[in-house]
Structure 1
Amino acid sequence: MTTHFITAEIDLQETPTELQKVIEAELQKQGEPLRWAITSVDIKQQKVNVEAVVTVES
């Protein structure tokens, strides 16, 4: 098992609950998320940047 630091740009959602689901689904594509955080929000472009640590089976 290895860990990876990743970043993702996600479309801003209508509600915080929807945003969390979309972020978690996107991170699952890269591996199993250990932790993640929204690091910036661009209101004009309706995007959020997320940094995460994920584990991947070797």
Structure 2
Amino acid sequence: MTTHFITAEIDLEETPAELLKAIETELNKQGEPLRWAITSVDVDEQKATVEAVVTKSAEC
């Protein structure tokens, strides 16, 4: 199992619950999230930047 630092851009959603689901869905594509944080928000582009640490199995 290895850990990786990733950055993802997520479209802002209408509600916090929808934003959380969008973040979790995107991070799960990269591995199993250990921790993550929204590090910036671009209001004009309606994007949030998320930085995360994820684990991946050796087979990936």
> Is the TM value for this pair above 0.5?
yes
* 2:7 equivalent in structure 1: 7
Structure 1 runs of 4+ aligned residues shifted over 4 Å read none
For residue 30 of structure 2, give the secondary structure of its aligned residue in structure 1.
coil
Give structure 2 stretches of 5+ with no counterpart. none
Residue pairs, 1:25-40, within 5 angstroms: 25-40=25-40
Name the Cα RMSD after superposition.
0.3
Give structure 1 stretches of 5+ with no counterpart. none
Q: TM-score, normalised by structure 2?
A: 0.95
Task: Report how many residues are paired.
Answer: 58
* 1:50 equivalent in structure 2: 50
Residue identity over aligned pairs, in percent, reads: 76
